[in-house]
Amino acid sequence: MARDDVPLLERERELAVIADGLAAACGGAGGLLTVEGAAGLGKTRLVQAACDSARSRGMTVLSARAGELERGLPFGVVRTLFETPVGRATAADRAVLLEGAAAMAAPVLGLTTGGGTPVRDGAAFTGLHGLYWLTANLAERGPLLVAVDDAHWADEASLRFLVYLVHRLAALPVLVVVAGRREELGADKELLERLRGDPLTSILQPAPLSEPATAAVVRAAFSPRADAEFCRACRTATGGNPLLLQMMSRALRDEGADPTAFGGVRVTELAPQVVAMSVLPRLHRLPGDAGAFARSVAVLGDGVEVRHAAAIAALGIGPATRAADTLASAGILARGRPLEFAHPTVRRAIYQSLPPAELHRAHRHAAELLDADGAPADRVAAHLLVTERLADGWVVAVLRVAAGRMLARGAFEEAVRCLERARQEPPARPIRADVLFELGSAEALTTRIDDACRHLEQAFELAAGVRRRAEIALELARVMSSAARDTAARSRCSIMPSPRWATSTRRCACGSKPSTSAWPAEIRRPEGRRPGGCERWPGSARPAASPAVCCWRTSLPTRSRRRATRTRPRGWHALPCARTTYWNPGSPTSR
């Protein structure tokens, strides 16, 4: 019996709270419901019930289910939420939805093309602001339900959008339902806790089933003849967890167990296997290539195309389709297309049973398939992040492109993760400096100032050509000067008190010895005020500018050096002294 065929028992209070929230949204008052609990307690069933009830009321439903593999894809959940109302809308309808401030959501949803420039500092909120106004435009057409299941696996960028939206829900006819497991919160725990602590939040915590409800599930899923002692043994073995009860009942039915008190002994023996990986024995007993196909789907995650899973399992389309139908009949895969598991716990059990070598092969094959199919680089990168390091130039190239897309969306942490993986591949020596430069620049957009300075210094040492070294030195100067203006950053940046380039005896990349005569007069000037009313230059950041300017001037042709007193090096605008017009690196005095 499929899991949806078992009645939803002892959830009357939760369903009543959901009904009240939907009624309030239809009346113009927004709110947030969080559904918390361990795996298998029925959170997904409650989310489905909310969606069904909302549709019956005529509400628009935006729903998404986060996946463990996709948590590294920035705005992955957001894209799923808006795919139907925006991505599949006509051009005219989409133009109306993206009107005004909502247009800022277009790059996040992949509705515009072009490389884009990463947004620095606080300007990354523009995408969140655009998504909020897109939600408001949809809500103008009628009450809205936004439902996110398995939020503990959601990407950080999507969680930030939910926090941004919930703080502005009061005047919108929108109900947000978020389901997840608190015991599995990772690095994004703070964001989910902020959702939980919002004044508009109602918290639902479905409890394990009682003995009467357990007996009803066992008799529906296993045998109507199951006696009270047998049902009591099932509850003791599973703790009243609805999902485990169904898995236990299926395993007992496949074995033909005695549904009386005598069969309770077998329940006790079977319980550890059911709790740990109950689905694997059933998977091995399935006919044909069902096992290999299920493992392929587990690697690819949810929303899987049959042809992709077939290629990884080395099956034709015909055998793959039959395997998918077999797995759906067994309750392992959900019915319909694209392919999804009946429950994330089932996918995790199958995925964790794969040996490391097979995981590497399958993820590598998946990445190649998706790349050949024209999938976005960040989706391909999600598979490459978990493969072994083989010094493959293609892997490095894909990860760099994916990082660029993530930076353009303001997903800085995800970009750093891709570039760090590219550095570990490792890249070929001619591009190693470029990868380190991109990694350091991306880390500078986060709180990893120490790492940013270290990787930029490594890039400087490996870079070929004086001009390239000057560009890297300028970026390092920008990072160090920005950090020096922040007291907290200065305290955590170990490189800042004594930079390697601060020594007066070290020669610059261009072969000349750095000296204060190469600095702009404003930097050489003591800590007093500089011409033009510029702010004070932090003394600890001052040495980084010397090799930057020195390298830049030396990289110029001799004739162009004469114009250095009238121009500024590319990138110098990022430094504090760029505000003044007193730029004269070749003169010991200012203008």
Domain CATH code at residue 31: 3.40.50.300
Amino acid 414 reads: E
Cα-flanking dihedrals φ and ψ of residue 408, to 5°?
A: -65, -25
The answer on 167 and 27 residing in a single domain is yes
Residue 179 lies in a domain: yes
Supply the pLDDT for residue 366: 95
Which range, 85-94, 379-388, 517-526, has the best average confidence (pLDDT)?
379-388
- Model confidence at 518, pLDDT cuts 50, 70, 90, reads very low
- Model confidence at 478, pLDDT cuts 50, 70, 90, reads confident
Burial class (CB in 10 A: 0-12, 13-18, 19+), 277: middle
Supply the pLDDT for residue 549: 53
Amino acid 200 reads: L
pLDDT (tens digit per residue) in 250-303: 888 877 877 877 677 777 777 656 755 567 877 887 877 899 999 999 999 888
Whether the predicted pLDDT of 544 surpasses 90: no
Helix, strand, or coil (residue 195): helix
Residue 465 lies in a domain: no
Residue 325 lies in a domain: no
Share of the chain above pLDDT 90, in %: 43
Which range, 190-194, 223-227, 388-392, has the best average confidence (pLDDT)?
388-392
Per the prediction, the chain carries an average pLDDT of: 79
> Considering 249, 277, 305, which residue would you say is the last residue of a domain?
277
Mean pLDDT lowest among 41-50, 250-259, 423-432, 501-510:
501-510
Share of the chain above pLDDT 70, in %: 75
The answer on 106 and 182 residing in a single domain is yes
Supply the pLDDT for residue 293: 95
- Sign, CA dihedral 256-259-263-268, equals positive
Residue 328 lies in a domain: no
> Considering 204, 229, 263, which residue would you say is the last residue of a domain?
204
The answer on 583 and 503 residing in a single domain is yes
Print the domain residue range for 240. Answer: 211-277
The answer on 218 and 187 residing in a single domain is no
Whether the predicted pLDDT of 581 surpasses 60: no
Give the 3-state secondary structure percentages of the chain, helix then strand then coil, rounded to 5. 60, 5, 35
The answer on 240 and 117 residing in a single domain is no
pLDDT (tens digit per residue) in 199-228: 888 999 999 999 999 999 998 888 888 888
Question: What is the C-alpha end-to-end distance of the chain, expressed in Å?
Answer: 85
Predicted model pTM: 0.65
> Considering 204, 233, 255, which residue would you say is the last residue of a domain?
204
Token pair listed for 395: 């892997």
Supply the pLDDT for residue 479: 85
The CA–CA distances, whole Å, from 79 to 73, 76, 366, 574 equal 10, 5, 21, 34
The answer on 155 and 13 residing in a single domain is yes
SS (H, E, C) 86-125: HHCCCHHHHHHHCCHHHHHHCCCCCCCCCCCCCCCHHHHH
The answer on 75 and 22 residing in a single domain is yes
For tokens 């993986």, the residue is 421
Whether the predicted pLDDT of 116 surpasses 50: no
Q: How many domains does the chain have?
A: 3
